[in-house]
A and B are shown apart, each in its own frame.
Chain A
Amino acid sequence: MGKVSLSKVWKVYDGKIVAVSDVNLEIRDGEFMVLVGPSGCGKSTTLRMIAGLEHISSGEIAIDDVVVNDIPPRNRDIAMVFQSYALYPHMSVRENLSFGLVMRKMAAEEIGRRLARAVDILGLGDLLARQPKALSGGQRQRVAMGRAIVRDPKVFLFDEPLSNLDARMRVEMRKEIIKLHRRIGTTMIYVTHDQVEAMTLGDRICVMESGVIRQIGTPGEVFDNPENAFVAGFIGTPPMNLLEGGLDRSGGGGVFRDGDLAATLPPAMAGMLPPAGVERVFLGLRPKSFVFRKKAPADALRDVWTVMPEVAEMLGEESLVHVRAGRRRFVISVDPHDLPEMDRPLEICPLMNRAHIFDSRSGRNLSRGLVLPGRHSMRRI
């Protein structure tokens, strides 16, 4: 068992700097929960409070319904993998793995059994006699995970464990962590600033900003139905384009307008908007939600935008073209075999069925949950 619940958790430094405010989070037994957000969003602080390495200013954290606020880390039955790995430099891999068990005065026989299991899961067999300094980054990472596995804790905590690895190793270890979770089934809480890691690893992800939870949901939910402009602008590579403009409600429908750019909201979307009180909005469109005019389906031809392509980034499967429209700049994704000419006006059409409308003041997604054909790009895969 390993259920973790945070209720009304705050972290305030020196009585004035709020690092985490009013966090409520239920992590189910066996779940892989990812806390993600830009640096300084409070995700690591939250994790460290769960670990007991950071005092909880107010609120309650419970592991399996036992409030752990005043329980020291060693008695919380958690194991943690640090960003720097934090392997004991003077101990061999074997000693590193067994240290936590020796400290708990476990019988040598049991230590041997657990060590053997961890070594088997992570393939550490050849490394047991080595010192940490003789290991590569990936190997150190594996040992750090092994140190957590042998403990057989209720909860695994990961604090940005992959950020010290090179890109290739990171992808490799991501796969291993997924496999590890599937194999041992322990609750895992994982902190990262990398939204790709969050999307690929998490059963659910919790997006944080400035100490506040912005959305909790499965990767699909967070990608398809961002609750607010922050989540929309954070999740996705590249993230959703957010264009600020006015909302023209004349004639019963809804038209987004910003200078020369106009976009007609589908009737279903316009119908969701509050009848009054929203004048300024963000129009959210993912880079893939645009087509060239020459290829646009009939219903998209209502709105034609003339943009100036400035830079193209070739990614292989797709090319990202950075375009300018008036004073706005945004990114569209195109087929690399159909690359437009740079610095020549280009006509594109936004696919408004896929658009999101956010209140520019609160950032709230006003079109959340709307189901329209072609809207959910994740679901098609």
Chain B
Amino acid sequence: MPEPALSELPPSIRARRFDALPYVLVSPAVIATLAVVFYPMATAIVMSLYDYVVWRSKTNFIWFDNYLAALGTDIFWTSFKNTLIWIGVTVPLQFLLGLATALLMNQKFAWRWLARMLIIIPWALPSVVIGLMWRWIYDANYGILNDFLLRFQLIREGVPWLATTDTALYSIIFVLVWQGFPFFAIMLLAGLQSIPGSLYEAAEVDGAGVWGKFRHVTLPGLKSVIVTAVLLRLIWVGNAVDIIYVMTEGGPGTATSTLPLYAFVQSRKILKFGYASAIAVMFTLMLLTLVIMYLRRIDDKGGSR
């Protein structure tokens, strides 16, 4: 059958008039996004170029002075280093613990449903509750952690975990690992359940042992879930200030200060909005760099998309 020539088609198909309907339908979402995401972002960037302090009546445009001032302080660089440790230690630990939990929860055992429900608890608790709870656990005088360690004679006197420069950051990291691993566990468990059982059976017939099945069936099957979950956690962990704020407020000294916390303290407590915005913008760039590096690395290894 010969195809009809374009000129033979009815005009309604040939030339579409401008149709406003699609734009009208999309506009609420676009407007809402512009209002709650892009406007505050743009405001923050603009603000970072002013010496804006809430209680001062006059503000001046000062170009990049806020940035230069921040880069000249020790606390900025301490916070920068802490942020890297914070992300670099927390996310891998959460991932490994979550993976182990997911593999365990994927086995058949009695009361598994209960275990699966209980595992979510750390993730479901508000950060403030967790922070306060662990502050008590870590407490130098009354804390249950010191009590345990003393009873088992692992330490001779109580350690002020959150008040010691060397232990404070890692103590909080431990708490965040504890809080965040269920997220990985749940995501990875869902991923595990989506791997068809016949792949394991095929691998078994093909001669793969436990490690072979994990290496060649489980890990490749989880890859896309891992990529997504790690990306999300990278961003969330990087931005997390609530637990640190509740537990140490960045102390002792600057031992547990991270960039987002530093920015938060500068804006909310000292009300130096311009200066805090500059720090926030720099932190955003840092996180963006991390995310881009991460995604590049994934793609180099042959992305699964």
Chain A positions within 8 Å of B, measured between CB atoms, are 51-53, 72-74, 78-80, 82-84, 86-90, 99-100, 103-104, 147, 151
Contacts and interface: CB of A to CB of B under 8 A. Distances in A.
Interface string B195-213: 0101101111111110010
Contacts of B217: 88
Given A82-B198, A103-B212, A88 B204 contact: no
Contacts of A79: 205
B199 A88 contact: yes
Interface string B176-202: 000000000000000000001011011
Q: Which of A51, A86, A151 has the most CB of B within 10 A?
A: A86
CB-based closest 6 A-B pairs:
A100-B206, A86-B202, A103-B207, A86-B198, A90-B220, A74-B207
27 contacts: A53-B205, A72-B204, A73-B201, A74-B204, A74-B205, A74-B207, A74-B209, A78-B205, A79-B205, A80-B202, A82-B202, A83-B198, A86-B198, A86-B199, A86-B201, A88-B202, A88-B203, A88-B216, A89-B220, A90-B223, A99-B208, A100-B206, A103-B206, A104-B207, A147-B202, A147-B206, A151-B206
A83 B202 CA distance: 11
A151 B206 CA distance: 8
Given A86-B199, A147-B202, A147-B206, 19 more contacts: A52-B204, A52-B205, A74-B208, A80-B202, A82-B198, A82-B202, A84-B198, A86-B198, A87-B202, A88-B202, A88-B217, A90-B223, A90-B304, A99-B206, A100-B205, A100-B206, A103-B212, A104-B207, A151-B206
Nearest to A74: B207
A73 B196 contact: no
Nearest to A84: B198
A103 B207 CA distance: 6
B216 A100 contact: no
Contacts of A53: 201, 204-205
Contacts of A80: 201-202, 205
Contacts, number: 61
A253 B304 CA distance: 75
Nearest to A90: B220
A154 to B, nearest CB: 13
A103 B208 contact: yes
A99 B216 contact: yes
A171 B198 CA distance: 25
Q: Which of B207, B209, B304 has the most CB of A within 10 A?
A: B207
A53 B206 CA distance: 12
A103 B196 CA distance: 20
Interface in B265-305: 304
A271 B21 CA distance: 85
Given A88-B199, A90-B304, A51 B205 contact: yes
Contacts of A78: 205
A285 to B, nearest CB: 42
Interface residues of B, number: 19
Contacts of A82: 198, 201-202
Contacts of B204: 52-53, 72-74
B90 to A, nearest CB: 28
Contacts of B221: 89
A330 B139 CA distance: 85
A84 B198 CA distance: 7
Contacts of B196: 84, 86
A89 B208 CA distance: 16
A236 B221 CA distance: 43
B208 A88 contact: no
A84 B201 CA distance: 12
A52 B206 CA distance: 12
A50 B272 CA distance: 75
Nearest to B200: A86
A190 to B, nearest CB: 16
A181 B220 CA distance: 34
Given A86-B198, A88-B217, A73 B205 contact: yes
A60 B20 CA distance: 74
Contacts of B207: 74, 100, 103-104
A87 B217 CA distance: 10
A149 to B, nearest CB: 13
Nearest to B195: A89
A151 B203 CA distance: 13
Nearest to A83: B198
A100 B205 CA distance: 8
Interface in B89-133: none
A74 B205 CA distance: 5
B45 to A, nearest CB: 42
B297 to A, nearest CB: 17
Q: Which of B206, B220, B304 has the most CB of A within 10 A?
A: B206
A272 B253 CA distance: 104
Q: Which of B205, B212, B217, B220 has the most CB of A within 10 A?
A: B205
A73 B204 CA distance: 6
A72 B204 CA distance: 8
A87 B216 CA distance: 12
A100 B212 CA distance: 11
A175 B207 CA distance: 29
Nearest to A100: B206
Nearest to B304: A90
Contacts of B304: 90
Contacts of B220: 88-90
Contacts of A88: 199, 202-203, 216-217, 220
A74 B198 contact: no
Nearest to A51: B205
A73 B223 CA distance: 27
A353 B301 CA distance: 72
Nearest to A78: B205
Nearest to A76: B205
A74 B206 contact: yes
Contacts of A51: 201, 205
B200 to A, nearest CB: 9
A82 B206 CA distance: 12
A94 B220 CA distance: 17
